[in-house]
Amino acid sequence: TAACQHEHEEEEQRSDIPKWSELGVSHYAYLLVVSQHSLYTLPAVFSPSYLFGLFLPSCFYLLNHGSPVCQQKGLALLELIQVQIAPESGPSPALLRVPVSTVLDTLTRLMASSPAQDQRTRYFTVFKRFIGMFKAERRFDFMEHIITETRSDAVASVVLDMIRGELTAAYAKISLPKNKASPHMDNFGPFSNYVPSSIAAEESPFVSPRLLDLLEAILTRQEDLEDVLDATVSALNTLRMAILMEQRYAKQHGKPFYLNTKARHRISQQWLEPLAKRFDVAMVIVEQDKSKQGANQSVVSNAMDPLASDVSVRISRLSIIAEVLGRIRELLQNFSDNQQ
């Protein structure tokens, strides 16, 4: 009948209405927490760990949406819950509905791809806070995962800078007088002041052979050196800092904490020597490009040569490798002489 047909058409129309989706719930969470400022009344009813696990998926779905507006909402929501309801003892893994490594991968991807510097800074800030919520063992696991899995040389370099901050804090616990802060050292990176709370250095993987294993994986890989230059320089500076810290520790306690003679020999022979050879190969390639540039300029005057714009920059950046390598070799030699 006509009535049945009309009812059927209405049912089809209702079925076309989008049901609540993960993204839809995430938008509602943003409106509830950020726009309506309702978060301030929730901790009195629910535990911070529960609330953090409840809202984290909404942050994740918004951040992973292709729309910049959604990504900004996800970033604002994550910033707010980190400040207002982050559990003091770290989030409970049982209450997290999204894997931590997945959230960190999303943040590092956005940190690397965002065109604006202020946006990259905001993503890095929430990334740093998020990692800082966990104990040292898990922090190291997350940083190791990011450094070894990311395709962004800049992201790997930034996370290695954070590791240098961990080194400073860990050695301050075991090496320095209680009334002194971390030692003044060279500028090892823009984020070297990052010092997470409550570090037990004796149990920290940042002061252990695990750190050497991570640095070895970075410094001995066989990729084109220019493609991983930032991470390589940052890893070398991290190694240099670790050696300096171990020297200080050895002077105070008579022996290094973990950087023994065997480890130092492995660094010198199995890391630095092959890296120096890779540097030589990279410099030969750059010099060849420089020669091609000169030939092109002599043939075609005032032409736009694609090699002309970056050869000098490439030489300057690669020269940093040789400089840091020389300093590390000198440190290792002094270390060995003082241990004899």
The predicted pLDDT at position 266 comes to 94
Higher pLDDT, 327 or 88: 327
The predicted pLDDT at position 37 comes to 59
Kindly report which listed range (24-33, 210-219, 246-255) carries the lowest average pLDDT score.
Answer: 24-33
Tokens read off for 109: 């991807």
pLDDT confidence band for 287 (50 / 70 / 90): confident
Per-residue pLDDT reduced to its tens digit, 22-38? 666 666 566 666 665 55
Between helix 153-175 and helix 117-132 the angle, nearest 10°, is: 40
Higher pLDDT, 304 or 102: 102
Instruction: Name which of 255, 250, 232, 251 is nearest 321 in CA terms.
Output: 232
In angstroms, rounded to a whole number, what is the distance separating the alpha carbons of residues 63 and 243?
39
Kindly report which listed range (32-46, 100-114, 290-304) carries the lowest average pLDDT score.
Answer: 290-304
In angstroms, rounded to a whole number, what is the distance separating the alpha carbons of residues 317 and 320?
6
The predicted pLDDT at position 55 comes to 82
pLDDT confidence band for 186 (50 / 70 / 90): very low
Average pLDDT over residues 290-297: 66
* Range from 119-123, 234-238, 258-262 that averages highest in pLDDT: 234-238
**Cβ 229 vs Cβ 286: under 8 Å:** no
Cβ burial, residue 174 (10 Å; 0-12/13-18/19+): middle
Per-residue pLDDT reduced to its tens digit, 3-23? 434 444 444 443 443 444 666
The dihedral built from the CA positions of residue 291, 293, 298 and 300, taken in this order, carries a sign that is positive
Mean of all residue pLDDT scores within the chain: 78
In angstroms, rounded to a whole number, what is the distance separating the alpha carbons of residues 306 and 127?
37
Average pLDDT over residues 139-158: 93
CA distances from 106 to 27, 43, 150, 163, 255 (A): 18, 27, 11, 20, 42
Per-residue pLDDT reduced to its tens digit, 34-78? 665 556 556 566 777 777 888 888 888 889 888 888 899 889 989
pLDDT confidence band for 312 (50 / 70 / 90): confident
Per-position b or e across 301-336, b if 16+ CB within 10 A of its CB: eeeebebbeebeebeebbeebeebbebbeebbeebe
Question: pTM here?
Answer: 0.77
Q: Is 189 left (phi over 0), alpha (psi -120 to 50) or beta?
A: left
pLDDT at residue 259 is higher than 80: yes
The predicted pLDDT at position 294 comes to 63
Cβ burial, residue 222 (10 Å; 0-12/13-18/19+): exposed
pLDDT at residue 222 is higher than 70: yes
CA distances from 330 to 106, 124, 186 (A): 40, 34, 16
Average pLDDT over residues 285-311: 63
